[in-house]
Structure 1
Amino acid sequence: MHDLRRQALESGKTVSRKARSRNASAPSSKANSAVNSRANSRANSRNPSRHGSDDEEGFLSDGTAWSTNSIDDILNNEDVDLPPDAWKAELHAIIEQIVDRKRSSTEGRADSLNIYVHILMAKYARDEIENRTTEILPAILRSIKAETSERETVTALRALAVTIVTLDSDDIYDSVCDLLKRTVSDSEFIQTKISAIHTLGTATFFGGASEEEAEDIMAFLLEVVESDGLSVDAHDQGGIVVAALEEWGLLATEVEDMEEASEAAMEAFVDQLQSSDSSVQIAAGENIALLYEKSYTPLEEDEELSEGEDSEDEEYIKDGGRMVKRYTVYRRQDQLVHTLEELANISTRKISKKDRKTLHSSFTDILNSVEKPTRGPKYSTALNDETGRLYGGGRMKVRINRNVEVRIDKWWKLQRLNALRRVLKGGFAAQYDENEAVSRTLPFTVSRG
């Protein structure tokens, strides 16, 4: 899996020439300072945004795979003579700096946490950090709780999220939940609140929360959406609402029966379709599509359709299965369809050309799924000239290596992919091969081409 290990999307360099020239087993703090400085400079050269960094980080598109850069280049620069596991010594040194708070400054801790995040995104390091968990987690949590600076806190939240995905432990949620919720509610920084919401979703999904605890977090997030952020002292902050919508969607993919929760959620999401922020509109629309998708389940072997009950589209019949509508997601569907049609064809010059294009693409898919809930994102209604059938779903793919690809033909898959990308960035493909927490979250298909 050499090719797989080399796949990554981040292009930030994390090891300086001086750091690479020293003994890999005994990195000096001076060299690591240079490492941190270069990594931080590169990492902070991009302004984070929901859509702006997607192309930059290799966001998937119809029929395309992730772009590839060398993880070795990221971690070892261009020195090919450096041992391939030199990153382990680097990680060990960084962990020592994170744990030893007495000898660190606020900026120094932020630098160390930043390089720690980049290594864990690019390399599967469970064996390297598992026996240091009792030191690493308290140190990260102290940086979050102290909130000495926005940069240190946000970086610590990212470090916590990637640590949770790396460890794949059921024992983390209980120790971090209360702190993360307080950070969302009480932090004075908007970006800290946003990062805390995302980390809370990651901890709930990957950290061992019970079904009841997950539902409590979903209720907390829904309140943020319903109040336009007011419930966490961030009124009319679009980034806060987007984060809450995204993490609610992630957690909803794990809930088997959404019938009872759909009514309140749909009211909140439909209301957010009127937002002036296109990112809020799209995140709400994707959750709407997910809820419609979840309202259909497979026909059981001993189950018969009632007379006049809708059968499913031919894509599913062709695959040997039929889907049945179990409940009504939204009672005012005609009004919803009208709103979605307007967004799919929006032409106002009050928003940028790029946002209009994104809205058109997103809401065409969302509208399609509301009208036909078994049709996932990028479902094509064009006819195949050879077979006479619809092309159907499966045009959105993430290629992992020559033989493995993840086909994003369901909204729940898209929600989970986006969540993993938020945590792992360009390391997603590399992690997919080794990290079970990643691979079991998204099933793969064997490529025959």
Structure 2
Amino acid sequence: MPKGNKKKGKSTGKGRVEFVTSDEDSLNDNASVISLASDGTFLEEGNEENDENVQNDAFEEKLIEAIDGLTQKSAQGRTHCLEAISTSFTMRFIPEFVINRKLTLTDGIERCLKKGRGLEQAAAAQLATLLCVQLGSGDMTDQVCRDISPILTFIVNDASMSVQARSKCCWALGLLSFLANVDDIGEPMTTLEGVFSTSYHKGDGTVPSVSVELASLHYAALSSWSLLLTITDLSFLNSYNLPSISQLAELLDSAHLDIRMAAGECIALLLEQGRELSDDWLDEVTDELLDKLRQLATDSQKFRAKKDRKTQRSSFRDILRFVENDELPNIQVRFGQESLSLDSWSKKKQYDTFCQVLGSGMNLHLSENYLLRDILDLGEKISPLNSPTSKQSKLARTLLNAANFKARSISRAKNRDKRSAVVP
């Protein structure tokens, strides 16, 4: 808060201008108040802008250093750099910075996928998805997909690779094919289906035994396949002999919660799109399928963890309502001053996938990232200045405080004059 009526100027050590006034000047409250308010205000605002510029410069310097580190000899060092870049892309939306370094990043990701192993390949696949999220849809993302997808496909199909690397490559292959203008989307869908198909029933109708580690791989492949399903013409599926609802229903018997839930959502997606085409898809809903969904929606078997039972029942209640009564989900997601309505299984699947990739940075990208806003039908980006509940800027708050101080000073000066007029 600015101060008035100083007889001697003193340095504050914060860059404020010194004022030296005489006794006559000190009687003029307005002069000192206005001078201090204006000078102090603009200096503080300048410092705030400078601090922000310094922070941005430091952020970019560290990010450039991490990008340069992708060529070092140490595999552990390259992995740390990949993870650092991914974290930066998650927490900030910086498309201009990324566009200028697209070739460097793409080359680095390719080398790490080809020559790396395990954690390094997983980190490179994760960065590939975030790179395309930053670039948005267009020719640059299409080129990244053409360059990296063959390597991702090779790793997904190679059983000698680590399960963690193959899982991340499944996510990356699905999302890159979703974002890019792929000539033949059936190829990545066939690749992904080849992974989770080992969770189908055996030839004798029994449920296969799948380890926890492999279950995570099957879940990643099934989820990525479901994402591509949201942008696929169902008439095209028959030409690739992709799974039917009856085959996907076999996954509902899996011992792993993630696979059961992903299979249930996939069935809902197929029915949602099929019912828009014709009523023939109603025949796909058999009594056996409904019995399985009811059982999962009311499951209370004690050998399952309590949290798993609760999560499963909540998810399959929604799926069952849709399969039986065609009742679509109605989920509202609030972020900042906006709200996102997930009113279809396709939109819910797309939102969940980006949450999986962006994690804690999802809300920021929903507000800033034009690609996500276009995919989820959020419209144009909303400026904070147009928000009725946005906070005042520091400049506006300082000017308001200065005006209030001036009014208080004048009021108190009048009261002091009245107290000095004492009748003898």
Q: Say yes or no: TM over 0.5.
A: yes
Corresponding position: 1:363 with 2:342? no
Match of 2:116 in 1: 147
The residue identity in structure 2 corresponding to 1:240 is L
Match of 1:281 in 2: 260
1:340 to 293, 305, 317: 293
Match of 1:244 in 2: 221
Match of 1:172 in 2: 144
1:183 to 155, 163, 188: 155
The structure richer in helix per residue is: 2
Match of 2:247 in 1: 268
How far does the alpha carbon of each residue in 1:176-206 deviate from its partner, in whole angstroms, 9 at most, with x for none? 1110011112252111111010011111011
Return the alpha-carbon distance in structure 2 between the equivalents of residues 87 and 154 of structure 1: 28
Does structure 1 retain, via aligned residues, the 8 Å contact 2:119–2:164? no
Does structure 2 retain, via aligned residues, the 8 Å contact 1:273–1:284? yes
Match of 1:158 in 2: 126
Return the alpha-carbon distance in structure 2 between the equivalents of residues 177 and 376 of structure 1: 34
Does structure 2 retain, via aligned residues, the 8 Å contact 1:222–1:265? no
Return the alpha-carbon distance in structure 1 between the equivalents of residues 200 and 164 of structure 2: 13
Shift of 1:419: 1.0
The residue identity in structure 2 corresponding to 1:358 is T
Shift of 1:341: 0.4
What SS does the aligned partner of 2:333 have?
A: strand
Does structure 2 retain, via aligned residues, the 8 Å contact 1:97–1:104? no
What SS does the aligned partner of 2:343 have?
A: coil
Does structure 2 retain, via aligned residues, the 8 Å contact 1:194–1:243? yes
The residue identity in structure 2 corresponding to 1:161 is T
Match of 1:64 in 2: none
Return the alpha-carbon distance in structure 2 between the equivalents of residues 337 and 259 of structure 1: 26
Return the alpha-carbon distance in structure 1 between the equivalents of residues 114 and 249 of structure 2: 35
How far does the alpha carbon of each residue in 1:398-436 deviate from its partner, in whole angstroms, 9 at most, with x for none? 11222x211112110111001111111121221123322
Q: Give the structure with higher Rg (CA).
A: 2
What SS does the aligned partner of 1:405 have?
A: strand
1:203 to 171, 176, 179: 176
The residue identity in structure 2 corresponding to 1:209 is V
Does structure 2 retain, via aligned residues, the 8 Å contact 1:91–1:116? no
User: Which range moved further: 261-270 or 431-440?
Assistant: 261-270
Return the alpha-carbon distance in structure 2 between the equivalents of residues 103 and 220 of structure 1: 32
Return the alpha-carbon distance in structure 2 between the equivalents of residues 433 and 275 of structure 1: 38
Does structure 1 retain, via aligned residues, the 8 Å contact 2:222–2:262? yes
Match of 2:269 in 1: 290
Shift of 1:267: 2.8
1:400 to 319, 335, 340: 335
TM-score by length of 1: 0.65
**Structure 2 CA distance for partners of 1:204 and 1:326, relative to 1, 3 Å:** same
Q: CA RMSD in A?
A: 2.9
Does structure 2 retain, via aligned residues, the 8 Å contact 1:121–1:425? yes
**Structure 2 CA distance for partners of 1:296 and 1:84, relative to 1, 3 Å:** farther
**Structure 2 CA distance for partners of 1:235 and 1:279, relative to 1, 3 Å:** closer
Match runs of 1:62-141 below 5 Å? 82-83=51-52, 86-87=55-56, 89-141=58-110
**Structure 2 CA distance for partners of 1:195 and 1:110, relative to 1, 3 Å:** same
Return the alpha-carbon distance in structure 1 between the equivalents of residues 71 and 54 of structure 2: 29
Return the alpha-carbon distance in structure 2 between the equivalents of residues 133 and 436 of structure 1: 18
Shift of 1:264: 2.6
Return the alpha-carbon distance in structure 2 between the equivalents of residues 266 and 418 of structure 1: 22
The residue identity in structure 1 corresponding to 2:217 is I
Does structure 2 retain, via aligned residues, the 8 Å contact 1:347–1:356? yes
Match of 2:40 in 1: none
Q: How many residues align?
A: 320
- Gap runs ≥5 in structure 1: 1-78, 298-323, 378-393
**Structure 2 CA distance for partners of 1:206 and 1:146, relative to 1, 3 Å:** same
Match runs of 1:45-64 below 5 Å? none
What SS does the aligned partner of 1:397 have?
A: strand
Return the alpha-carbon distance in structure 1 between the equivalents of residues 242 and 125 of structure 2: 32
Does structure 1 retain, via aligned residues, the 8 Å contact 2:89–2:134? yes
1:228 to 199, 216, 232: 199
Corresponding position: 1:376 with 2:322? no
**Structure 2 CA distance for partners of 1:330 and 1:84, relative to 1, 3 Å:** farther
How far does the alpha carbon of each residue in 1:188-231 deviate from its partner, in whole angstroms, 9 at most, with x for none? 21111110100111110113313x2x12211221222222399x
Return the alpha-carbon distance in structure 2 between the equivalents of residues 151 and 229 of structure 1: 29
Higher relative contact order (Cα pairs below 8 Å, separated by 6+ residues): 1
Return the alpha-carbon distance in structure 2 between the equivalents of residues 419 and 217 of structure 1: 17
- Gap runs ≥5 in structure 2: 1-47, 202-208, 390-424
Return the alpha-carbon distance in structure 2 between the equivalents of residues 259 and 341 of structure 1: 31
What SS does the aligned partner of 1:271 have?
A: helix
Shift of 1:86: 2.5
Return the alpha-carbon distance in structure 1 between the equivalents of residues 152 and 375 of structure 2: 23
Q: Percent identity?
A: 25
Does structure 2 retain, via aligned residues, the 8 Å contact 1:99–1:139? no
How far does the alpha carbon of each residue in 1:50-70 deviate from its partner, in whole angstroms, 9 at most, with x for none? xxxxxxxxxxxxxxxxxxxxx
Return the alpha-carbon distance in structure 2 between the equivalents of residues 116 and 326 of structure 1: 48
Match of 1:351 in 2: 304
The residue identity in structure 1 corresponding to 2:128 is L
Does structure 2 retain, via aligned residues, the 8 Å contact 1:145–1:179? yes
**Structure 2 CA distance for partners of 1:158 and 1:92, relative to 1, 3 Å:** farther
